[in-house]
Amino acid sequence: MKKGILLVVVLVSVLFSSCEKDDICDANTITTPRLVLSFYDINNPSILKNVNQLKVVGEGMTEGIVFSPTAIGDSKYVTNASTISLPLKVDQDVSTYTLIFNSGNSNPALVFTDKIQINYSRINSFVSRACGFKTNFSLRPINPITHTAVPSTSGKWIQYISVEKTTIDNENETHLKLFF
């Protein structure tokens, strides 16, 4: 009888000692941050300004960044916001985006396209076994942003870009201010 109880206690101990904590990454864990861009009025630089029908397309992508997941069709790629967040590539030191102002307008003369290239270095750090690694970014000290109009013969709708934060380690602050 004592051997039977001892055997049960040993088996239960072995079973519970082999249990591991679940590897679930907490939703509140800070992971790889996105680049935060805020748009401002060029005539009144302290005032945030919504961009009309803004569509952002990453280099090599055929569709835009999804801003409105519940929207249907092409409208899910368009926003009228004054602040947007864009992911940077974690396997390269450069990300290029095309920003289309008045996207979808039936008059092509009212649609303006600018391309911005963000140059940075990457800093990888281990978060946890459940979350893996995250990448923080540091904008290059020389030429962190290259800004061109598309086509180059047209004027830029973004008049000026100001680098506000060179270290991108969270999404709680504006990294770039774009004036138009």
DSSP the chain: -HHHHHHHHHHHHHHHHT--------TTS--SPPEEEEEEETTEEEEE-PPTTEEEEETT-SS---S-TTS-GGGGGEE--SEEEEPPPSSSSEEEEEEEETTT-S-GGG-EEEEEEEEEEEEEEEEETTTEEEEEEEE-SS--EEEEEESTTSPPS--EEEE--SEE--SSS-SEEEE-
- CA nearest neighbour of 132 among 29, 37, 20: 29
Whether 10 has a pLDDT exceeding 60, the answer reads: no
Task: Please give the model's pTM, rounded to 2 decimal places.
Answer: 0.84
pLDDT digits (tens, 9 = 90+) for 53-70: 999 999 999 999 999 999
Report the alpha-carbon distance of residue 179 to residue 162 in Å, rounded.
8
| Bond from prior residue into 141 cis (ω within 30 degrees of 0) | no
- CA nearest neighbour of 100 among 118, 84, 120, 119: 84
Domain extents in the chain = 23-179
Nearest-Å Rg of the Cα atoms of the chain is 24
pLDDT digits (tens, 9 = 90+) for 97-136: 999 999 989 999 999 999 999 999 999 999 999 999 999 9
Number of Cβ within 10 Å of residue 158's Cβ equals 20
Number of Cβ within 10 Å of residue 77's Cβ equals 20
Q: What is the pLDDT of residue 88?
A: 98
Q: What is the pLDDT of residue 30?
A: 87
Report the alpha-carbon distance of residue 9 to residue 140 in Å, rounded.
62
